[in-house]
Structure 1
Amino acid sequence: MSRRPILIVDDVETHLTLFSATLEAADYEVITARNRIEAREKALAHQPELALIDIVLPDGNGIDLIAELKGHLPGLKPIAVTAFASVDRAVTAMRSGAIDFLVKPLDPEQLLATIANAESGLSIGQQERDQREHDTAFDGHIGSSEVMRGVFETINAVAGAAAPVFITGESGTGKVRAAETIHARSGFRNGTLVKLDCSTTAPDRIEAELIGEIAQMDGRLDGHADGDVKPGAVEQAQNGTLLLDEVCALSMPMQARLLGILQTGSVTPQGSLLPRPVNFRLICTSTTDPRAEVTAGRFRADLFYRLNVVHLHLPPLRGRGMDVVEIAETELDRLCAREGRPFRTLSTGVKAIFLDHNWPGNLRELMNVLWNITILHDGPVVEIADLPPYLRNPHAPQDGSQRPTSFIPARPDPFDGQTLAEIERRAIEHAIQKEGGSIPAAARSLGVSPSTLYRKLDGWGKPVRSKRDF
């Protein structure tokens, strides 16, 4: 079969030799370049279909080269290559036109699988990219805060690639939902999204659930026929996405098995001697900090760097500012439509409590609170009296007992009679005072951008010392 050549741009001779030998052994035609100028000349002369481009070049930035070549050759499929994985590099490369992002060192199987994905369209989100860039309604995701706009931007940038994504965040922040969104917007969306919870699967079953096993026949394992294999999550996700939820819970032996699968591009089920080729997009999640797990010796460093090509961190609800009110009102409408309830909005007092609450359970806790309200109360406005007791009075005991109150006067509602705008102004002024007048520091504590606070202060006619970091 006639193929257009693949351009390899790298200034390290050993890398050029390894990549070229691997691709030529697989019957690809290869052209090489050692700097940006040579790459531009050869690309225009040979019109390659694919290009492996190192981000760091002796005469310029590889990301700029990707954008330049895409301008001359719109059909080119660039793949960014780097020795240093970071979400900023991945996002910047994808914005410049890269269809995938690889981290050195590369083994031959990984390189060939990436090229095959690019040829088949599995790593390309270009047909959907215009839609993704103009689509601000992420399924199941709500929020206008600056921190969440960054999350949505990262999801948009990486969805069309085949690179592994590592999603971290506290319990209830929406890690699985984010993984589902990435899958739905990726070139793997026509395949199955297979989820395996590494923290709840029984230790004696996790290996079989991940890699599969030979079916038992008459009380014994029989692997003479391929049809006897019960596929595990890896094979079930063929040409789709494998989601390993709470991956840091894997034992060290299972981490070694997973690393072997990623290195070889194949899986050998329990009881079988025959490896089976696999191709899937991998997304992992973790509530615990994976870097801390590596430092503590509980998670393999080599596996972590395989998984952490793109890191996506989901912030806790308490760090998302006004998002909590936006989410609550949107989900209240949805729940009321489903349950046939008449609620339409939240009272000012309820909004203030929601903004003040720490939300240790994050989105999951908020959803449970809203569901409780719609089931047990009538509308049309959610009032403070409709909230669960622990939100109405956060200092009350939760065991059903009552504190003596005969000589303690009832504490007045600090928000009584105030509008939400007045409450917001009090919160902003308190944060600025608490941070010693530093606008950027106050903005960080409130989960908004400094420009938002400057705009608010200007609107109130408040003097601002200067718009700089203090």
Structure 2
Amino acid sequence: MSHPPILIVDDVATHLTLFSATLEAQGHVVLTARSKQEALELAQTHSPRIALVDLVLPDGDGAELIERLTSRCPELKAIAVTAFATVDRAVAAMRNGAVDFLVKPLAPDQLISAIDNALAGRSIGTLPGEAIGHGDGLEGALSSSQPMKDVYETIRAVAGSAAPVFITGESGTGKVKAAVTLHAQSGFQDGAFVKLDCSTADPERIEEELLGHVATSDSPAKSGAVERANGGTLLLDEVCALSPAMQARLLNVLQTGEITPLGGPSPLPVSLRLICTSTPEPTEEVAEGRFRPDLFYRLNVVPIHLPPLRERGLEVIEIAETELDRLCAQEGRNFRTLSTPVKAIFLEHNWPGNIRELMNVLWNVALLNDGPIVEISDLPPYLRGVGISSPPGSDGATPRFPGRADPFEGRTLAEIERHAIETAIQSADGSIPAAARVLDVSPSTLYRKLETWGKPVRGARRG
């Protein structure tokens, strides 16, 4: 089997040796260059089909080299490599023509997979380290990013315990899926998994839904969610939506380990794993007096925070292409990969709907189009940037910035985000919760951002 030549551009000799040996063992012909100029000369002489380009070179920027290589030879597929993984770098490389983005250190199987994917017309960016399971039941649960590694480490550490777990995160981050995953890996997996959505349950009947009732002349006996989950796991989704009275009922169940169905003569002992979720930051709910502190401390034995998609960096591309595979099999489509411009859009988009929004975008693409490559024209209008419609949750208004046609021109995505957050906090007179409501994010997200930027969080108002 013949292989097209592969050009490796890196100024570190050990990297050239390792990458060359790995690819030559797979039967590839390898060309190596240690500078931008040497790479351009080799490309002109040998016409490689694949170029593996380090973004930091002694005589120029690797992203500029990628642009020159791909403009000279449109069929060449460039893969950017760097030791510094940032969304800005990935977007810049992809806008210059890279089809993939890898982060050092690279394992041999990562390198081989990237080359094979590029030759097959498919590419999935990878981050260093091993993914802790691809899915494990948790939607969008690729775990090459550090925040998701932390989530999986916590799930594995507490799976065998009976301790209550409190899962927080923005809407669409997969809190319910995380609870299902925790149940499936726990010692309660042979029991039932029962979910009660506290935010949608009828307030007048939620006590009955939770505790059940005995038979009456008008209706037969009905078991509540707690009784049905006995020996298994009870998920109280959006637990902060419970009324003060129901919070007291739940606290009593936790303190006694017993329930008394409505109209029942005596309590029934129960043993189960309790998992709660909340989209609002529960500590803020406690501070505002909407949630009992004694109940919160009972529930918050093991806190798990699911990061928003925008904080998972390059992982959005991995999730998107994995989901694209699943949807193509489901809908009978032939997409193999995302085009480079689509990847750049996905990396730059804020994803206010998180994993749920990404899944819906890809489902829309798979239903209305076919492959082999997802192009910008296949995306919903609000992601194309053509002004036909506004993103979900937007009022469609066009902001006005006097004296500046494009307020974002020349700014990186990180700079735009920081400006928006700092402006919102200033407009809210320093109140983090108020600024979070304006930005439609969790206050904890803003606290983490401020700490990352070295801002004095203690000086910020929390109310």
TM-score, normalised with respect to structure 2? 0.56
- CA offset at residue 302 of structure 1? 0.5
C-alpha distance in 1 between matches for 2:294 and 2:288: 14
Does residue 279 (structure 1) correspond to residue 277 (structure 2)? The answer is no
Q: Who is 1:169 aligned against?
A: 169
Q: Who is 1:251 aligned against?
A: 243
8 Å CA contact 1:143–1:327 kept in 2: the answer is: no
- CA offset at residue 427 of structure 1? 6.3
Residues 240-319 of structure 1 aligned to structure 2 (within 5 Å): 240-319=232-311
8 Å CA contact 2:381–2:389 kept in 1: the answer is: no
Call closer, same or farther: CA 1:387–1:134 in 2, change over 3 Å.
closer
Structure 1 gaps, min length 5:
1-132, 222-227, 404-410, 415-425, 435-443, 449-470
1:359 to 305, 326, 351: 351
8 Å CA contact 2:132–2:142 kept in 1: the answer is: no
8 Å CA contact 1:198–1:246 kept in 2: the answer is: yes
C-alpha deviations, 1:300-334, integer Å up to 9, x for none?
11100000001000011111101111000000000
Q: Who is 1:336 aligned against?
A: 328
- CA offset at residue 136 of structure 1? 6.2
- CA offset at residue 378 of structure 1? 1.4
- CA offset at residue 135 of structure 1? 5.3
- CA offset at residue 216 of structure 1? 3.0
Equivalent AA in structure 2 for residue 299 of structure 1: F
Residues 90-109 of structure 1 aligned to structure 2 (within 5 Å): none
Call closer, same or farther: CA 1:257–1:388 in 2, change over 3 Å.
same
Equivalent AA in structure 2 for residue 146 of structure 1: Q
C-alpha distance in 1 between matches for 2:240 and 2:227: 21
Q: Who is 2:12 aligned against?
A: none
- CA offset at residue 272 of structure 1? 1.2
- CA offset at residue 142 of structure 1? 1.9
C-alpha distance in 2 between matches for 1:342 and 1:325: 18
C-alpha distance in 2 between matches for 1:402 and 1:282: 43
C-alpha distance in 2 between matches for 1:430 and 1:286: 30
8 Å CA contact 1:169–1:175 kept in 2: the answer is: yes
- CA offset at residue 402 of structure 1? 13
- CA offset at residue 279 of structure 1? 0.5
C-alpha distance in 2 between matches for 1:429 and 1:289: 24
Q: Who is 2:136 aligned against?
A: 138
1:239 to 231, 251, 254: 231
- CA offset at residue 246 of structure 1? 0.2
C-alpha distance in 1 between matches for 2:414 and 2:216: 69
Residues 210-221 of structure 1 aligned to structure 2 (within 5 Å): 210-217=210-217, 219=218
C-alpha distance in 2 between matches for 1:193 and 1:166: 16
Equivalent AA in structure 1 for residue 180 of structure 2: E
Does residue 323 (structure 1) correspond to residue 315 (structure 2)? The answer is yes
- CA offset at residue 396 of structure 1? 4.6
C-alpha distance in 2 between matches for 1:305 and 1:311: 10
SS of equivalent residue, structure 1 residue 216: coil
- CA offset at residue 229 of structure 1? 3.3
C-alpha distance in 2 between matches for 1:157 and 1:316: 22
| Identity over aligned pairs, percent | 63
C-alpha distance in 1 between matches for 2:367 and 2:413: 34
C-alpha distance in 2 between matches for 1:172 and 1:375: 21
- CA offset at residue 160 of structure 1? 1.1
C-alpha deviations, 1:123-167, integer Å up to 9, x for none?
xxxxxxxxxx98565223223111111111111111111100000
Call closer, same or farther: CA 1:307–1:401 in 2, change over 3 Å.
closer
Q: Who is 1:179 aligned against?
A: 179
- CA offset at residue 394 of structure 1? 6.5
SS of equivalent residue, structure 1 residue 311: strand
Call closer, same or farther: CA 1:289–1:134 in 2, change over 3 Å.
closer
1:388 to 344, 357, 380: 380
Structure 2 gaps, min length 5:
1-130, 399-405, 420-447, 453-463
Call closer, same or farther: CA 1:401–1:298 in 2, change over 3 Å.
closer
SS of equivalent residue, structure 2 residue 204: coil
8 Å CA contact 1:143–1:326 kept in 2: the answer is: no
TM-score, normalised with respect to structure 1? 0.55
Call closer, same or farther: CA 1:385–1:259 in 2, change over 3 Å.
same
8 Å CA contact 1:242–1:280 kept in 2: the answer is: yes
User: Which portions of structure 1, spanning 4 or more consecutive aligned residues, are displaced by more than 3 angstroms?
Assistant: 133-137, 394-403, 426-431
Q: Who is 1:192 aligned against?
A: 192
C-alpha distance in 2 between matches for 1:375 and 1:142: 24
Equivalent AA in structure 2 for residue 179 of structure 1: A
- CA offset at residue 354 of structure 1? 0.3
8 Å CA contact 1:164–1:282 kept in 2: the answer is: yes
8 Å CA contact 2:133–2:143 kept in 1: the answer is: no
C-alpha deviations, 1:69-105, integer Å up to 9, x for none?
xxxxxxxxxxxxxxxxxxxxxxxxxxxxxxxxxxxxx
SS of equivalent residue, structure 2 residue 163: coil
Call closer, same or farther: CA 1:208–1:309 in 2, change over 3 Å.
same
Call closer, same or farther: CA 1:347–1:366 in 2, change over 3 Å.
same
C-alpha distance in 1 between matches for 2:397 and 2:371: 29
C-alpha distance in 2 between matches for 1:344 and 1:378: 10
C-alpha distance in 1 between matches for 2:261 and 2:298: 22
C-alpha distance in 1 between matches for 2:210 and 2:264: 14
8 Å CA contact 2:168–2:305 kept in 1: the answer is: yes
Aligned-residue RMSD, C-alpha: 3.4
